[in-house]
């Protein structure tokens, strides 16, 4: 039979509540076992102690006659029927030092109480005896009055005390213990739950802050306020790790930008030297290689700039104007490839044409649209059409090329990834730059197959919707 291994829950709150609950149940079980095993010795002790306690109570309420002789007990405190109704199980005597009984609640002739087979002993405070085969516990307590010493004796049968205890005392005790344990457990669990909830609230807030940290927000730090002392070092260590990560990321971006800047000048000089060579002696592929390298350097520079949030300046940009500017700029590239570009903007209004405006960085938006158009033109066949459609929810660029295999859709935005049908020999950074620009604007960029070709859709996040400006003048 396979062994089933129990696993602790992963939640810290659930673990603590489980440990506390097990501890409380174990404590209640131990108390129950203690009561069970100690019940009999406790009953015997209480029989002996109870007899002595009752004898002392009777001694305090003894009343004396004018001559100093005991004549009974204060009936306002002790009812006489208690002794007469239970005369076979309860015995009360007031005796002299030699054992002569001077008072008994019953009219029968009474003798001093003494252990079986023994004579009356006034110095014997607690003892056991039998009356007609019934075990009893008795006690003797001295009382002084006007220089004379008297002895009050009290005896109760074990059967009476135990019967009353089993019938009333023990069930009440068990119910009291059970009610106390359940009440204490409920209060403890509720208090622990609320305490843990309040204590872990700052940790949940820190977790939400950590989820919002991205490469564009590496300057954000988790707040350690209100956190328990045990969790503060963890948050501080995480913040220090972010410091190191931010420093490394900044160094990488600065190196990328500096390298791109430094390479632009040598490439321009190399191109100038090649152009100075007569065309008959010039290698026809050198200029192509230099242009390709210059393009890759420019893309690296754009990627470094797009990855830095501080480079963005948000403003209202007209969608129609942005589309017209980019399409005009790419018209010559499309003409060389034999591709036609169409664009339109759906404002979402009825009955009138209202300008559609987006909240974006003008230069970054231009680069994003240019790269998408360039990618679509490169994959469209001669005579094909590239369509750009904008609406209040975003914009999409669709081509009529061979499309992308479903298995490769997730690789489109990876850096340096190149599709097998790509015409030029670029570095594969154009769509990566688009993704960085979209992420900086909190937009979503995705690619899906079209019929035919590929559609790249940029959708605005609900938290950052586009603004539609109406011109009613």
454: Cβ contacts below 8 Å, ≥ 6 apart? 376, 379, 398, 399, 401, 403, 404, 447, 448
pLDDT truncated to tens, each residue of the chain (473 aa)?
455 555 666 666 677 777 777 777 787 777 777 766 766 666 666 666 778 888 888 888 899 998 888 988 888 888 777 777 777 888 889 999 998 999 988 766 678 888 888 889 988 888 888 888 888 888 999 999 988 999 999 988 877 766 666 554 455 556 666 777 778 777 777 877 777 777 777 777 888 888 777 766 777 888 777 777 777 888 888 888 888 887 877 776 677 666 666 666 777 777 777 777 777 777 766 776 666 666 666 666 666 666 666 667 888 888 888 889 989 988 888 888 899 999 888 776 554 456 788 888 888 888 888 888 988 888 888 988 999 998 888 899 999 888 888 777 777 777 767 666 555 555 567 788 888 888 888 888 888 888 888 899 998 865 444 443 333 33
Q: Does the global pTM surpass 0.85?
A: no
Rounded Cα gap, residues 210 and 217, in angstroms: 10
Question: Please, are residues 151 and 59 in contact by the beta-carbon 8 Å criterion?
Answer: no
Answer whether 413's CB lies under 8 Å from 445's CB.
Answer: yes
Please give the structure tokens belonging to residue 348. Answer: 């979402």
Which residues, at least 6 apart from 224, have a Cβ–Cβ distance to it below 8 Å?
A: 206, 232, 235, 236, 239
Distance CA 359, CA 284 (A): 46
**Residues near 290 by beta carbon (within 8 Å), at least 6 away in sequence:** 267, 270, 271, 274
As a whole number of Å, the end-to-end CA separation of the chain is: 84
**Sequence-ordered list of residues with C-beta below 8 angstroms from that of 360, at least 6 positions apart, any chain:** 314, 315, 317, 441
Nearest Cα to Cα of residue 263 among 225, 226, 292 = 292
Round to whole Å and give the CA distance between 124 and 10: 66
Which residue is associated with the tokens 């850096």? 415
Looking only at the bridges linking them, the beta strands covering 340-345 and 385-391 are parallel
């Amino acid at each position: 039979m396979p062994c089933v291994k129990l696993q602790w829950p992963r939640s810290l709150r659930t673990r603590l509540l489980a440990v506390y609950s097990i501890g409380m149940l174990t404590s209640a079980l131990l108390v129950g076992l203690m009561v069970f095993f100690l019940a009999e010795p406790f009953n015997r002790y209480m029989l002996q102690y109870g007899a002595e306690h009752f004898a002392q109570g009777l001694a305090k309420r003894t009343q004396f006659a004018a001559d100093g002789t005991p004549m009974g007990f204060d009936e306002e405190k002790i009812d006489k029927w208690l002794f007469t109704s239970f005369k076979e199980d309860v015995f009360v005597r007031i005796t002299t030092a030699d054992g002569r009984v001077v008072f008994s609640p019953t009219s029968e002739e009474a003798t001093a109480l003494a252990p079986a087979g023994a004579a009356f002993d006034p110095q014997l405070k607690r003892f056991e005896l039998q009356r007609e085969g019934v075990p009893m516990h008795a006690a003797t307590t001295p009382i002084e009055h006007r220089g004379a010493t008297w002895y009050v004796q009290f005896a109760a049968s074990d059967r009476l005390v135990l019967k009353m205890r089993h019938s009333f005392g023990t069930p009440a005790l068990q119910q009291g213990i059970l009610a106390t344990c359940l009440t204490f457990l409920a209060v403890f669990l509720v208090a622990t739950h609320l305490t843990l909830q309040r204590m872990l609230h700052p940790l949940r807030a820190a977790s939400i802050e950590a989820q919002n940290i991205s490469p564009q927000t590496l300057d954000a730090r988790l707040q350690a306020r209100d956190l328990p002392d045990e969790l503060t070092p963890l948050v501080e260590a995480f913040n220090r790790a972010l410091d190191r990560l931010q420093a490394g990321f900044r160094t990488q971006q600065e190196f990328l930008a500096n390298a791109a800047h430094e390479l632009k000048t040598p490439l321009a000089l190399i191109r100038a030297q090649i152009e100075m060579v007569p065309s008959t002696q010039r290698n026809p592929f050198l200029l192509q290689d230099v242009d390709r390298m210059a393009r890759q350097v420019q893309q690296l520079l754009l990627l470094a700039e797009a990855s830095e949030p501080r480079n963005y300046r948000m403003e209202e940009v007209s969608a129609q104007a942005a589309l017209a500017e980019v399409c005009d700029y790419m018209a010559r590239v499309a003409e060389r490839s034999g591709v036609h570009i169409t664009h339109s903007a759906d404002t979402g209004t009825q009955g009138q044409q209202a300008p559609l405006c987006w909240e974006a960085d003008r230069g970054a938006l231009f680069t994003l649209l240019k790269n998408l158009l360039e990618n679509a033109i490169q994959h469209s066949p001669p005579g094909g059409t590239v369509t750009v459609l904008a609406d209040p929810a975003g914009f999409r660029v669709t081509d009529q090329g061979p499309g992308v295999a479903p298995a490769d859709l997730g690789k489109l935005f990876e850096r340096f990834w190149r599709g097998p049908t790509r015409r030029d020999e670029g570095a594969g950074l154009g769509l990566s730059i688009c993704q960085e620009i979209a992420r900086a604007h909190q937009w979503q960029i995705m690619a899906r197959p079209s019929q035919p070709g590929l559609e790249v859709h940029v959708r605005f996040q609900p938290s950052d919707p586009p603004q539609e400006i109406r011109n009613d003048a």
